[in-house]
Chain A
Amino acid sequence: MEHDVKFISAIGGNPADATHPFLTKKKVFYATLISTDIMPDRPYLIGGGDVTPRIDMLRPLYHKINNPELKRWAVTSQDDTIGLTCQAWEVGAAMAEGWDIVYDKHFSGETEDFAPVVTAILATKPDVVSLNLTYPTYVTLIIEQLYLQGFKGIISANYIDTESVMQKVPIEYMADRKCANSFPLFDDPWWGEPSWQHEFIKEWNTKYGPGAPGDVHRKITGIDWDHVIMLKVWAHGAQLAGSFDPDEILKALRAAPSIPTILGPGVMYGKDMWGIDNMVSPPIPIAEVKADCKCKRIQAHLKFEQWFESRKDMIIKVVKEKGQYFDQRK
């Protein structure tokens, strides 16, 4: 209010809930990282830069293709907005791909000691342990427990920060477990050279890398670019529309056949998921951890829309049963 803001880039979740009536009234764009914030009564709330929960739906597909003989899928995440909704979508997708869901619970955000949680998961003898969109801190601690308690299957999640986990777990273990996740590195050879992605990384390192003026004393993580992607989309929309008017921008974005994003060309999508096409949907890269480079490398780049169209009825049915569909949140 004080600064006449036009565009807010935020993480979303509970603050999005609290602020939306006000922001909608004032016609301010609110770009959230959490796609589940998107709702029909929030016309200016856009999301999708963060690939949740599309990636969580594509991972069961990915693993089924690579390991058709496996059957038992365990999934967990923290019990907050993100965890509850995204896990529902993942479970729906996994069931649609023929997986048996053997563990589908949430752990409390207050959890400090993950040993009991992992013990409970392993008691169900899963082939795949998926962490959905568990926050990075918890991911590290859970994977540590999986390692210590001797899990030998596949580990899969929305985001795994290789650096952090390596502190607690040998890289060989991570590579053997695949540790599939999205949030790729932008100097990954997959993108090709030259590429927008490689340029982006070079630019980032110039500004924030070692020795740079804004040195942040760490390598670029998988999530540093999360906010950038939405800003670019908005800017592109403003360019197309030729104005800052939010309704014009949305119209322009929805009409565009493809919108350039750092993950590839995307479209505005999401009516079946959120009730309104306010989600930017680029193709989703899936990476696995490799021991040779001690990092993750993209293995596949999947387009979401067609696959979703073929499975959506079953998936939405499951999400509704869990009470997590957009119109069920009262």
Chain B
Amino acid sequence: MLKHKVLSIIGVVALIAVMSVLPFFVREYYVEILIIFLINIILAVSYRLIATTGDWTLCHVILMGAGAYASALMAKYFGWPFWMTAPLAGATVGLVGLGIVYPMLRTVGFGFFITSLAVGEFIRLSWIKFHNPFGGPRGMINIPEVGIIGSIDFYEAIPYYFMTLVITLVCLLILYRIDRSRIGKAFKSIYEDSVLAESIGINVGRYRSFAFVIGSFFAGIAGALLAHRLGAIDPHIFGLDEMVYLLVWVIVGGSTTFAGPIIGVAVMTILFEWTRPLMEWRPLFFGVILIGFLIFMPGGLESLVPKFTRLFGNRKASQARAEEPAGAKKSVV
């Protein structure tokens, strides 16, 4: 068990090291892609947190949009700097989440799914309808960028990338701690057997809300990062298509482990860029991938990891993993 932990930590440190030097070896275009990649990781991991209770939503991308709009509005009209607008955007979206979760809690499973879609659409349409303050169908432009702090110009890709990297790591750390804590375990117990959970004193409704609000908070942070990088937001980039892409990442990567969604984002981002020359066919490929995974590999890519380590890894490590309670391996989908 200890060896497993040490290996994991070494792995994570190595990954961070790679991510830290990568931008210096690739063209500027790819640094921008990496920034978006990190933002998507925050999005995917926060989505998965909500999903650990068994609640799969269709409004997460829109919540990111809400964060983008919130931070944009605060920066433009109050003139607040990024280090204020970002967490405030997160808080705002957390509150929005709290507000909308009430009717949604009346539903479960598939009904919950569709309700979240409808509520999300409502929010998105209000951005399109109300030119004041959201800018209507044209969205918002001239969002103050992070600007120059000290001697670093955050308009440039590489400084923004590192800032995003730090923020992403902090978010992941927090999400990881939550996932591992009693609260995280409560979430998973709701998915396993909500009646049982209720009987041992877990207020299912309250915990579902809690998961939703936390997830929303981080979606808001991701949105703030996006808004300040692009400098302009268009309501149409937070539509259902983008939401289904998020689902693809989480399904392809897997949602049982913390790292699953991260793997999913990584793999799909690479595929996304690779298939750019075949842009018209791209959604079709992704549709095939989605169907393929759901039918043939519902556990996602993360479910391959134990098989992998069993082949090449240390016998003790895989034995330790095999001793983990079987329930934890159940795919959330």
- Chain B interface main SS type: helix
Q: Which residue of B lies closest to A330 (CB)?
A: B142
Q: Is B137 an interface residue (CB 8 A)?
A: yes
Docked pose: A79 CA to B27 CA in angstroms: 38
Q: Give residues of chain A (286-330) contacting chain B, Cβ–Cβ below 8 Å.
A: 329-330
Residues of B contacting A80 in the complex (Cβ-Cβ under 8 angstroms): 137-138
Instruction: Check B29 against A17 for contact (C-beta < 8 Å).
Output: no
Q: Is B96 an interface residue (CB 8 A)?
A: no
Instruction: Check B138 against A1 for contact (C-beta < 8 Å).
Output: no
Instruction: Check A18 against B231 for contact (C-beta < 8 Å).
Output: yes
Docked pose: A330 CA to B73 CA in angstroms: 12
Instruction: Check A14 against B139 for contact (C-beta < 8 Å).
Output: yes
Q: Beyond A2-B29, A18-B231, A18-B232, is A109–B137 a contact (Cβ under 8 Å)?
A: yes
Residues of B contacting A18 in the complex (Cβ-Cβ under 8 angstroms): 141, 230-232, 234
Q: Is A136 an interface residue (CB 8 A)?
A: no
Q: Is A81 an interface residue (CB 8 A)?
A: yes
Q: Give residues of chain B (6-35) contacting chain A, Cβ–Cβ below 8 Å.
A: 27-29
Docked pose: A18 CA to B237 CA in angstroms: 12
Residues of B contacting A1 in the complex (Cβ-Cβ under 8 angstroms): 27-29
Can you list, as one digit per residue, whether each of A5-29 has a CB less than 8 Å from chain B (1) or not (0)?
0000000011001100100000000
Q: Is A84 an interface residue (CB 8 A)?
A: yes
Q: Beyond A1-B29, A2-B27, is A14–B136 a contact (Cβ under 8 Å)?
A: no
Q: Is B310 an interface residue (CB 8 A)?
A: no
Residues of B contacting A2 in the complex (Cβ-Cβ under 8 angstroms): 27, 29
Q: Give residues of chain A (210-247) contacting chain B, Cβ–Cβ below 8 Å.
A: none
Instruction: Check B234 against A14 for contact (C-beta < 8 Å).
Output: yes
Instruction: Check B27 against A81 for contact (C-beta < 8 Å).
Output: no
Residues of A contacting B136 in the complex (Cβ-Cβ under 8 angstroms): 79, 84
Tally of chain A residues near chain B (CB < 8 A): 16
Can you list, as one digit per residue, whether each of B37-63 has a CB less than 8 Å from chain A (1) or not (0)?
000000000000000000000000000
- Chain A interface main SS type: loop
Docked pose: A1 CA to B28 CA in angstroms: 8
Instruction: Check B76 against A17 for contact (C-beta < 8 Å).
Output: no
Docked pose: A329 CA to B142 CA in angstroms: 9
Instruction: Check B141 against A329 for contact (C-beta < 8 Å).
Output: yes
Instruction: Check A21 against B234 for contact (C-beta < 8 Å).
Output: no
**Distance (whole angstroms) from the CB of A13 to the closest CB of chain B:** 8
Residues of B contacting A109 in the complex (Cβ-Cβ under 8 angstroms): 128, 137
Q: Give residues of chain A (83-132) contacting chain B, Cβ–Cβ below 8 Å.
A: 84, 108-110
Docked pose: A330 CA to B139 CA in angstroms: 11
Docked pose: A2 CA to B234 CA in angstroms: 24
Q: Which residue of A lies closest to B139 (CB)?
A: A14
**Distance (whole angstroms) from the CB of B96 to the closest CB of chain A:** 22
Partner of A17, one of B125, B139, B236: B139
Q: Which residue of B lies closest to A41 (CB)?
A: B142
Instruction: Check A17 against B232 for contact (C-beta < 8 Å).
Output: yes
The bracket for how many chain B residues form the interface is: 10 to 19
**Distance (whole angstroms) from the CB of B227 to the closest CB of chain A:** 11
Q: Which residue of B lies closest to A79 (CB)?
A: B137
Can you list, as one digit per residue, whether each of B112-133 has a CB less than 8 Å from chain A (1) or not (0)?
0000000000000100110000
Can you list, as one digit per residue, whether each of A41-68 has a CB less than 8 Å from chain B (1) or not (0)?
0000000000000000000000000000
Residues of B contacting A110 in the complex (Cβ-Cβ under 8 angstroms): 125
Instruction: Check A84 against B232 for contact (C-beta < 8 Å).
Output: no
Q: Which residue of A lies closest to B235 (CB)?
A: A14
Docked pose: A13 CA to B234 CA in angstroms: 10
Docked pose: A81 CA to B236 CA in angstroms: 13
**Distance (whole angstroms) from the CB of A7 to the closest CB of chain B:** 19
- Of B28, B138, B230, most buried by chain A (CB within 10 Å of CB) is B138
**Distance (whole angstroms) from the CB of B87 to the closest CB of chain A:** 25
- Of B28, B29, B128, most buried by chain A (CB within 10 Å of CB) is B128
Instruction: Check B231 against A21 for contact (C-beta < 8 Å).
Output: yes
Q: Which residue of A lies closest to B141 (CB)?
A: A17
Partner of B138, one of A17, A21, A108: A17
**Distance (whole angstroms) from the CB of A128 to the closest CB of chain B:** 26
Can you list, as one digit per residue, whether each of B132-153 has a CB less than 8 Å from chain A (1) or not (0)?
0000111101100000000000
Docked pose: A21 CA to B137 CA in angstroms: 20
Q: Give residues of chain B (200-246) contacting chain A, Cβ–Cβ below 8 Å.
A: 230-232, 234, 236
Q: Give residues of chain B (167-222) contacting chain A, Cβ–Cβ below 8 Å.
A: none
**Distance (whole angstroms) from the CB of A174 to the closest CB of chain B:** 30
Residues of A contacting B128 in the complex (Cβ-Cβ under 8 angstroms): 79, 108-109
- Of A2, A18, A109, A110, most buried by chain B (CB within 10 Å of CB) is A18
Q: Which residue of A lies closest to B140 (CB)?
A: A330
Instruction: Check A14 against B138 for contact (C-beta < 8 Å).
Output: yes
Residues of A contacting B29 in the complex (Cβ-Cβ under 8 angstroms): 1-2
Residues of A contacting B142 in the complex (Cβ-Cβ under 8 angstroms): 330
Residues of A contacting B232 in the complex (Cβ-Cβ under 8 angstroms): 14, 17-18
Q: Give residues of chain B (82-130) contacting chain A, Cβ–Cβ below 8 Å.
A: 125, 128-129
**Distance (whole angstroms) from the CB of A59 to the closest CB of chain B:** 24
Docked pose: A130 CA to B266 CA in angstroms: 50
Docked pose: A295 CA to B230 CA in angstroms: 45
**Distance (whole angstroms) from the CB of B136 to the closest CB of chain A:** 7
| Given A13-B138, A79-B128, A329-B141, 13 new contacts (CB under 8 A) | A1-B28, A14-B139, A17-B138, A17-B141, A18-B234, A21-B231, A79-B136, A79-B137, A80-B137, A81-B137, A81-B138, A84-B136, A329-B138
Selected A-B contacts with CB under 8 Å, 17 pairs = A1-B27, A1-B29, A14-B232, A14-B234, A17-B139, A17-B234, A18-B230, A18-B232, A79-B128, A79-B136, A79-B137, A84-B138, A108-B128, A109-B137, A110-B125, A329-B138, A330-B142
> Which of A's residues lie within 8 Å of B, judged by CB?
1-2, 13-14, 17-18, 21, 79-81, 84, 108-110, 329-330
Listed from nearest, the 9 A-B pairs whose CB atoms lie closest are A80-B137, A18-B232, A14-B234, A17-B141, A81-B138, A1-B29, A17-B232, A79-B137, A2-B29
